[in-house]
Amino acid sequence: MPEKMSISVNGQSQVPPGFRFHPTEEELLQYYLRKKVAYDKIDLDVIRDVDLNKLEPWDIQEMCKIGTTPQNDWYFFSHKDKKYPTGTRTNRATAAGFWKATGRDKVIYSNSKRIGMRKTLVFYKGRAPHGQKSDWIMHEYRLDDNTVTNSDTNIVSNVMGSETGQEEGWVVCRIFKKKNHLIKTLDSPRSSSMNELLETRSSRTTHMFDSCNEGSLEQILEEMGNRSSCKEENNEGNQSERFLPHIDTGNNNNNNNNGFYYVDRFLKLPSLESPNSTSTNSQSCYQPIISDMVANQDLNNLVYNQMVESSSISTSGGGGLTNWAALDRLVASQLNGPSPTTFGYCNSTDHHDDHDQDQGHDHDLQLPTIRSSSTSSTTSSSSQMANYNNDIDLWSFARSSTSSLELPICHVLNADI
């Protein structure tokens, strides 16, 4: 028989021991934020309203406690207000600092239907442009404005519609403190020397893969392209942009085939971390790689060999192997400038189809393996082909115009979000 638990959260806590408020993103959007927006009475005052401009993250932490149990994250509703009456920016400054967006917004799906977006923000103490980055992170969830009923053609228009309306209205937020792994020691603010930069970047790349759950090379490369080509995230849905459309249309037409298929394969990678020593002994062999990657500036062959060895030992499928090879290429491309194989590879995994072959670029030996490991996804559209061409042109331009590595990386460095 269900045992009725009445709990009043902001008064005396009655949350039974062992239970925590740990909502899924879907619950946050579909249950809590939808009720909030519709002015429904929420049966329980779990998520409070917070004026983001008035409270610092550590105040929110106090205010949004649920019960007396220890918490790692705190939830609240916030009403976004425009920074300027005529503008589209949101004012997220507090007395002590400000929240700054990072990365790209992530689409939240429910049953493979798009329901909203997640923005990631970092709290900086002080005033721009001299803010000091803190460990406080905020995930801000917003509902899509128009609830679109699935059909593929509608999605693009919906993307654009929601972008215009995204700077006002209720959002539901989670704040938490970032845990620092190996990252912290390697943080070098605004490194001037290329060596430092390379070390930072290569170690980041390593870290990225050790606990990867949504990462894919396409996304990162896409972001880099994004940063250097167009500076506003609002351009995501713009079909005429050079970089983005092939990825957006790919995901939309395909309903997750591209992106999520890739994610699955990453999940099968052996983890580089050994969390809680619950890991198995096969992981010990990965530890040297991290230090090697950090220490070594010319990692290309060394890491590649180690990774192939390691992954062929401990991964069962071929998918893992090609991903490690892909990692190597990403690292190599960051270190040595775009190599002829790097972007051919990335594009081919993005499209998974025979058009890669027809494009006739200088593919290398890896391609057949890659294609055979990704035959389950079938994607093809003329627009993708067109954009594929654009990409190749652009990268071959970069390749021919830069024998040194400065140019592509500096693009990334100097770009604002």
Partner 1 sequence: MGDNNVNLPPGFRFYPTDEELVVHFLHRKAALLPCHPDVIPDLDLYPYDPWELDGKALAEGNQWYFFSRRTQNRITSNGYWKSMGIEEPVNASTSNKKVGIKKYFVFHVGEAPAGVKTSWIMQEYRLPDSASSSRSSKRKGNPKTDYSKWVVCRVYEHDGDDDDNGTELSCLDEVFLSLDDLDEISLPN
Q: Which of 13, 53, 120, 336 binds partner 1 (CB under 8 A)?
A: 120
**Residue 122, interface with partner 1 (CB under 8 A)?**
yes
150 token code pair: 């699935």
**Residue 27, interface with partner 1 (CB under 8 A)?**
yes
**Residue 362, interface with partner 1 (CB under 8 A)?**
no
Provide the 10 A C-beta neighbour count for residue 330: 20
**Residue 69, interface with partner 1 (CB under 8 A)?**
yes
Residues 6+ apart with CB under 8 A from 379: 250, 253, 254, 257, 258, 351, 352, 353
Candidate ranges 155-163, 244-252, 266-274, 396-404; the one touching partner 1 (CB under 8 A): 266-274
**Residue 103, interface with partner 1 (CB under 8 A)?**
yes
Smallest separation (angstroms) from partner 1 to the CB of 401? 22
* Pairing between β-strand 48-49 and β-strand 73-80 as defined by DSSP bridges: parallel
Collapsing DSSP to helix, strand or coil, 112 comes out as coil
Q: Which of 187, 232, 298, 354 binds partner 1 (CB under 8 A)?
A: 187
What does the longest C-alpha to C-alpha distance in the chain come to? 72
- Based on its alpha-carbon atoms, the radius of gyration of the chain, rounded to whole angstroms, reads 23
**Residue 137, interface with partner 1 (CB under 8 A)?**
yes
Q: Output 213 or 240, the one with its CB closest to partner 1.
A: 213
Smallest separation (angstroms) from partner 1 to the CB of 152? 25
Single-letter code of the amino acid located at 383: S
**Residue 91, interface with partner 1 (CB under 8 A)?**
no
Smallest separation (angstroms) from partner 1 to the CB of 20? 4
Smallest separation (angstroms) from partner 1 to the CB of 141? 11
Candidate ranges 215-223, 314-322, 343-351, 354-362; the one touching partner 1 (CB under 8 A): 215-223
Q: Which of 161, 169, 215, 340 binds partner 1 (CB under 8 A)?
A: 215
Q: Which of 51, 62, 79, 128 binds partner 1 (CB under 8 A)?
A: 128
**Residue 95, interface with partner 1 (CB under 8 A)?**
no
Q: Which of 11, 18, 85, 360 binds partner 1 (CB under 8 A)?
A: 18
Q: Which of 294, 321, 392, 415 binds partner 1 (CB under 8 A)?
A: 415
Alpha helices for 28-68 (secondary structure H): 34-37, 57-63
**Residue 197, interface with partner 1 (CB under 8 A)?**
yes
Sort residue 280 into left (φ over 0), alpha (ψ -120 to 50) or beta: beta
Q: Are 21 and 46 spatial neighbours (Cβ–Cβ below 8 Å)?
A: yes
**Residue 98, interface with partner 1 (CB under 8 A)?**
yes
x/- track of binding to partner 1 for residues 218-237 (CB under 8 A): -xx--x---x----------
Task: Give the C-alpha separation, 380 to 368, whole Å.
Answer: 18
Site size with partner 1, rule: CB under 8 A? 87
Smallest separation (angstroms) from partner 1 to the CB of 370? 21
Single-letter code of the amino acid located at 309: E
CA 11-15-21 angle, to 5 degrees, is 105
Task: Give the C-alpha separation, 363 to 347, whole Å.
Answer: 11
Alpha helices for 211-299 (secondary structure H): 217-229, 245-254, 257-267, 287-295
Residues between 36 and 65 with contacts to partner 1, criterion CB under 8 A: 43-44, 46
Task: Give the C-alpha separation, 343 to 243, whole Å.
Answer: 13
Smallest separation (angstroms) from partner 1 to the CB of 314? 11
Q: Are 408 and 338 spatial neighbours (Cβ–Cβ below 8 Å)?
A: yes
**Residue 86, interface with partner 1 (CB under 8 A)?**
no
Q: Which of 49, 214, 364, 393 binds partner 1 (CB under 8 A)?
A: 214
Q: Are 32 and 9 spatial neighbours (Cβ–Cβ below 8 Å)?
A: no
Task: Give the C-alpha separation, 66 to 57, whole Å.
Answer: 16
Candidate ranges 11-19, 247-255, 332-340, 384-392; the one touching partner 1 (CB under 8 A): 11-19
- Please state whether the peptide bond connecting residue 129 to the residue before it is cis, i.e. omega within 30 degrees of 0: yes
Q: What 8-state DSSP symbol labels residue 244?
A: S
Provide the 10 A C-beta neighbour count for residue 199: 19
**Residue 200, interface with partner 1 (CB under 8 A)?**
yes
Q: Output 4 or 54, the one with its CB closest to partner 1.
A: 4
Candidate ranges 203-211, 290-298, 336-344, 400-408; the one touching partner 1 (CB under 8 A): 203-211
Candidate ranges 116-124, 310-318, 359-367, 393-401; the one touching partner 1 (CB under 8 A): 116-124
Task: Give the C-alpha separation, 315 to 130, whole Å.
Answer: 46
